Structure 1
Amino acid sequence: MKTRSLKHLLGAGVSLAGVLALGAISSAHANEYALPNLLVIGTPGTSSGSFASSNGWGPLLQKDLDTNVRVVPEDSEVQRYRRLTERRDLALSSVSAAELRFQTQGIGHYATMAPVPQRVIWHHNDTPWAFVVSGDSDLHTMEDLKQSGLRVAQGQFSPPMIAAVRDGLPAYLGMTPEEGAEHFNFVPASSYVENCRTVVEGRADVAYCATVSSVMAEMEGAPGGIRWLPMDLDNTQAWASFLEHRPMVVPGTISMGVSSAKGIDGLASNFLYAAPADVDDAFAYTLAKWFHQSFDTYKGSHPLSTRMSLELFREYLDRSPLPVHAGTVRYLKEVGAWTEQDDKWNQQAIEKTDSWMAARQAALDEAQERGIKPDANDEHFMAIVKKHKQGLEGFRTRL
């Protein structure tokens, strides 16, 4: 039996008969809440689907809720996190569940930064990803990647993307990360667009990309086009090994994005709108209410906006390990889309998040006491981090 998501990847969501009919229910005091005069939303770069789709619904929210909406592209995941949690010049961030795991657990460079708990405000999209090659490439299957000396694009801007190619790809092929480092030549890329274009520019043989991003349409239309390498869902051993390194993704058959990718076995990486846990409950409630009740108005503004329905959010909540903001929970309860069981797992997610925050802060405190500068490349600092994280359970998709 094939390993698939709860529904055909990027297909229709589960039915919530009766729930949408309750959408008009609202809290009286929430109607009195006014959003800030400026609502700044951070997304990946201008060629990403997240940026385009946020610009689709942004003007509509601006008109409905009388606020100025600004969508700010920030290709560096680390910088977007810093702007959201430290500088606080972003009110909301479009972030993958995988990246949110890295940020919460302090993986890589995030270990050096102040730990700030985040909460999910709403579901953004379930972006499909796979490995892409140029249309005239001799590579046709994932097994073909076992050829020695192949060049693999490595996006330097996103820790999960680094993990996907440096750790996940070798694991899928039955190699350790160390064997992968000897087997492949990794080609650094400073942005997502550069990462993907490497295969049509002849600088890399394979790249890990999202099928819905605008740069893929550009590449598909280039001379020779592109081709995708199917990640066979029947290869359960390969998938189990890949998921050890990318535990937040969901395997499945791709049905959205450029035509060359449709029908290919790949994976979905859910993107979420997230905010620091301490934002006002009324802020989260107001956004959740608008995202739900205005869905029919904005769903046609961009293909990815169709993934922001309450049904798809509800389906994602059935497998999400990440804590949802109390304001969003309050709204979901009002429309009958939240259960007592949801309260239990969400509380567990909050407690798990708090444990990671405490461990990371303790590591930073100890490093300061010992005069060790937080540096992801400093073995002494990372040893302190490892010590304080010992025994903590990581976040993983609830399948």
Structure 2
Amino acid sequence: MKYFNLRSALSVLATCVALPAISQELPETMVWTSYDVGSAGYAEASAIADAFGKSFGTRVRIQPSGSGIGRLQPLLQGRADYAFLATEAFFLGEGAYDFATADWGPRQLRAVAGRPAGITLVAAGDAGIKTVADARGKRIAFVAGNPSVNVKCEAILAFGGLTLDDVEVVMFPTYGSAMSSMTRNESDATCTTPTTSHLYELAESPRGIFYAPLEPDNKEGWDKLLEVLPIMSPSNEDVAAGLPEGETAKMAAYRYPVITTTNEKSADEVYAFIKALDETYDLYKNGTATMTRWSLDRSGRPAIDVPFHEGAVRYLREIGIWTDEDEAWNVKRTARMDALVSAWAEFLDANAGLAEEDFSKAWMARRAEVVAALN
């Protein structure tokens, strides 16, 4: 009898030890998608998955993919629980670029959290570009077939009152060749994050480096930027190639990676996920040089690629991070997505017979009309 009592006591003790996992209501297994092995997205997803495993016993399988479609399809088909995405989250929510086809169109996605990453117009120091407006007539490096990079540059140029017609767009076949083109004097500026290895080479080159400022108090500039890409916000960056220690550069912040799920994911599941993300922060925050930015006071606030999930909002409000301003942003962003999804259904029925290129052009024009009507 004593043996059985001891065994029962040990069983109760084990149950108590496991209570954090039970209270979080995390599933025993999860599937996440991310960028390729070796990418920042994969490294950060891996660090968070390891923290979940240590704290809650949850086993996470990460499916890496080099394409946005490859990261999204498992999520939309129910084969993945969450996706660590880049700007393809915004593009799918809008039905834009690669997703402006009859097979895709705008879909309902929701954000859980997203790490801020800085970006601005990065110029060669000898190019005479001290403001974004100074880029008029200059050679701007773009990447062929990479709307994620190019549309950010288009938005940043808009901050300075410029369109693509005001600059000389130089198209390069790969991201690497575009980013290194300034060092080779094949371009004068481009738009990218300030810590890519190519910028350190530029900073050490005879041309030097300069970050065109995106001043947070320039309301007109920010209004124009957000008309092109409404997923960015002002940011002070203190880690950047060629930036003297102790100085900051005024940039825009976008989110990469963005932890994304569908609007159909239950609020309780997402609440448990973001609570676990918060409570395991100390375990993964040093996983990479930028993972401290996953603290929810930075990663759990707008602006972001798609609306925040109601389960995430519930937790963020509970811990005092979510503000009335954040709620207003989320309501407006959700209304935009709802309007595009509704317009898509009508558009698809009326234009299904168009050739693919004509279909995409017609939808992008219709999308612009829908967005303009909301402003």
TM-score (norm. length: structure 1): 0.71
Residue of structure 2 in register with 1:228 after alignment: 210
Do the aligned partners of 2:33 and 2:65 also contact (CA within 8 Å) in 1? no
Does residue 1:358 correspond to 2:342, yes or no?
yes
Aligned mates of 1:45, 1:228 — CA distance in 2: 31
2:12 is matched with none
Three-state SS of the structure 1 residue aligned to 2:72 is helix
CA deviation profile, 1:239-277 (whole Å, cap 9, x unmatched): 544343233222343223445285222211133311122
Alignment pair present for 1:39 and 2:39: no
TM-superposed CA distance for 1:361, in Å, is 2.7
Q: Equivalent residue of 1:132, what SS? A: strand
**Paired position in structure 2 for 1:102:** 91
Amino acid corresponding to residue 353 of structure 1 in structure 2: M
- Is this contact kept in 2: 1:155–1:195, CA < 8 A? yes
Match of 2:112 among 121, 130, 148: 121
Q: 1:285 to 1:358 in 2, by over 3 A?
A: same
Residue 202 of structure 1: how far off its partner (Å): 4.4
TM-score with structure 2 setting the length: 0.75
1:363-382 matches, cutoff 5 A: 363-368=347-352, 371-373=353-355, 375=356, 377-378=357-358, 382=361
Aligned partners of 2:192, 2:223: CA distance in 1, in Å?
Answer: 20
Change (3 A) 1:35 1:265: same
CA contact (8 A) 1:121 1:325 kept: yes
Residue 298 of structure 1 is matched in structure 2 by: 284
Residue of structure 1 aligned with 2:57, choices 66, 69, 83: 66
Match of 2:243 in 1: 260
- 1:91 pairs with 2:88: no
Aligned-pair CA distance for 1:128 = 0.8
Q: Contact 1:252/1:267 (CA < 8 Å) preserved in 2?
A: yes
1:247 aligned residue: 230
Secondary structure in structure 1 of the residue aligned to 2:312 = helix
Letter in 2 for 1:229: Y
Across the aligned residues of Structure 1 and Structure 2, the Cα RMSD in angstroms comes to: 3.8
Which piece of structure 1 moves more, 27-36 or 269-278?
27-36
- 1:144-293 to 2 correspondence within 5 Å? 144-146=134-136, 148=137, 150-166=138-154, 168-169=156-157, 171-177=158-164, 179-180=165-166, 183-191=167-175, 193-213=176-196, 215-216=197-198, 219=201, 224=206, 226-231=208-213, 233=215, 237-260=220-243, 262-271=247-256, 272-293=258-279
Encode CA deviations 1:133-167: one digit per residue, 9 max, x unaligned.
Answer: 456x4444235533x4x432213454242223346
Please tell me whether the aligned partners of residues 102 and 159 of structure 1 are also in contact (alpha carbons under 8 angstroms). no
- Matched with 2:297 is 311
Write the letter of the residue equivalent to 2:229. Answer: R
The alignment of Structure 1 onto Structure 2 pairs a total of residues equal to 350
SS in structure 1 at match of 2:255: strand
Give the distance between the partners of 1:161 and 1:357, measured in 2 at CA. 25
**Counterpart AA for 1:165:** C
Kept after mapping to 2: 8 A contact 1:130/1:230: yes
Please list the CA deviations of residues 183-235 of structure 1 after superposition, one character each: whole Å capped at 9, or x if unmatched: 403223434x443233234443322111244x357536865585123225266
* Greater relative contact order, per chain length (Cα 8 Å cut-off, separation 6+): 1
- What is the rounded CA distance, in whole Å, between the counterparts of 2:116 and 2:154 in structure 1? 23
Amino acid at match of 1:199: M
Contact 2:122/2:212 (8 A) holds in 1: no
Structure 1: gaps spanning 5 or more residues: 1-25
Inter-partner Cα distance in structure 1 for 2:148 and 2:332: 24
- Paired residue secondary structure (2:210): strand
- Contact kept? 2:34, 2:45, Cα under 8 Å: no
1:322-368 CA deviation, whole Å, 9 max, x = no partner?
42223323433554555788667645544442222121233223223
Shift of 1:308: 1.4
| Residue pairs, 1:314-329, within 5 angstroms | 314=300, 316-317=301-302, 322-329=306-313
Answer yes or no: is the 8 Å Cα contact 1:115–1:361 preserved in 2.
no
Opposite residue 97 of structure 2, the aligned amino acid is G
- Confirm or deny: 8 A CA contact 1:42 1:92 kept in the other structure: no
Checking the alignment, whether the CA contact within 8 Å between 2:149 and 2:192 is kept in structure 1 is no
What CA deviation, in whole Å up to 9, does each residue of 1:22-45 have, x standing for no partner?
A: xxxx99975444243x52231378
Report deviation, 1:118.
0.6
| Closer, same or farther: CA 203–30 of 1 in aligned 2, 3 Å | farther
* Contact kept? 2:100, 2:360, Cα under 8 Å: no
Deviations 1:8-67 (A, max 9, x none): xxxxxxxxxxxxxxxxxx99975444243x5223137845x4344333333222333334
The sequence identity of aligned pairs, in percent, is 19
Quote how far apart the aligned CAs of 1:129 are. Answer: 0.7
Query: Which letter does structure 2 place at the counterpart of 1:64?
Result: S
Could you say which structure has the larger radius of gyration? 2
**Cα distance, 1:292 vs structure 2:** 0.8
- How many angstroms does 1:301 deviate by? 1.8
Asked if 2 retains the 8 angstrom alpha-carbon contact of 1:99 and 1:159, the reply is no
1:306 is displaced (CA, Å) by 1.1
Distance change >3 Å, CA 204–CA 77, structure 1 → 2:
farther
